[in-house]
Amino acid sequence: MVDVPAAPFPFRLDPARVALVVIDMQRDFIESGGFGESLGNDVTRLQAIVPTVAALIALFRDKGWPILHTRESHLPDLSDCPPAKRLRGPEGKRIGDAGAMGRLLVRGEPGNAILDACAPRAGEMVIDKPGKGMFHATACDGLLRGRGISQLVFAGVTTEVCVQTSMREANDRGYECLLVTDATESYFPEFKAATISMIVAQGAIVGRATAFADLRESVR
């Protein structure tokens, strides 16, 4: 067991039960010409965390601890994308429409790929998810429980959308959750700050939060 300094109280990390979850570090959200930009966002904000996410992935690889990567994606026929999700934003820039990196948020398109710096390696778990949360319409829960995993360390984008939704889903399913605050980012700095505050409030109502350096130092 390793005590990691965290807000609002330390996280007792169990190397036998922990996994890293890297949410949606895909070109669609982080590079120009993808889905994130089509929603009107400045995607360059998200690029700053890439080295920290890569270092966090490297730390888990060094330790031999499991890593699960997610991609937000839809089937080419969009049968897994309800109108409530698809029919938003300007026409021609919606999910499934053609973009500079292929069809927006469609599985297998160039824009749907995880960034090279954070790319999964053989043996790591990769989950395509049609929703914001990692457990909605995916095999995540069985995959994690089958490996005896009950603690999840979270990184990725965006903090208040897919990361927070996944943490809340995980918390409801009984996983202990730890967010690495400098390995996650939002298009809106005020939303990132508010998300971290609400996750750790009320005695860690959703989970705990730590900085990458604190996690790295405590497990070295």
Residues engaged in binding ligand TIU (CB under 6 A): 24, 29, 39, 72, 132, 157-158, 161-162, 187
Q: How far is the CB of 72 from ligand TIU (least distance, A)?
A: 5
Q: 57, 123 in Cβ contact below 8 A? A: no
Contact status, residue 159 vs residue 183, Cβ threshold 8 Å: no
CA distances from 156 to 75, 78, 130, 163, 189 (A): 22, 24, 16, 7, 15
- Closer by beta carbon to ligand TIU, 93 or else 216: 93
In whole angstroms, the minimum distance from the beta carbon of 129 to ligand TIU comes to 9
The residue (of 113 and 219) whose beta carbon lies closer to ligand TIU is: 113
Burial of 97 (C-beta count, 10 Å sphere; 0-12/13-18/19+): middle
Catalytic residue among 28, 162, 177, 192: 162
Active site residue 24: yes
Q: How far apart are CA 150 and CA 113, in angstroms?
A: 28
Our answer to whether residue 63 is catalytic in this structure is no
Two tokens, residue 192: 């990132």
> What is the closest distance, in whole angstroms, from the C-beta atom of residue 58 to ligand TIU in the complex?
22
Using alpha carbons, list the distances in angstroms from residue 49 to 36, 79, 117. Answer: 16, 33, 11
Of the pair 72, 128, the CB lying nearest ligand TIU is at 72
Distance separating alpha carbons of residues 144 and 67, to the nearest angstrom? 10
- Rounded least distance, CB 11 to ligand TIU, Å: 23
Active centre residues (catalytic): 24, 129, 162
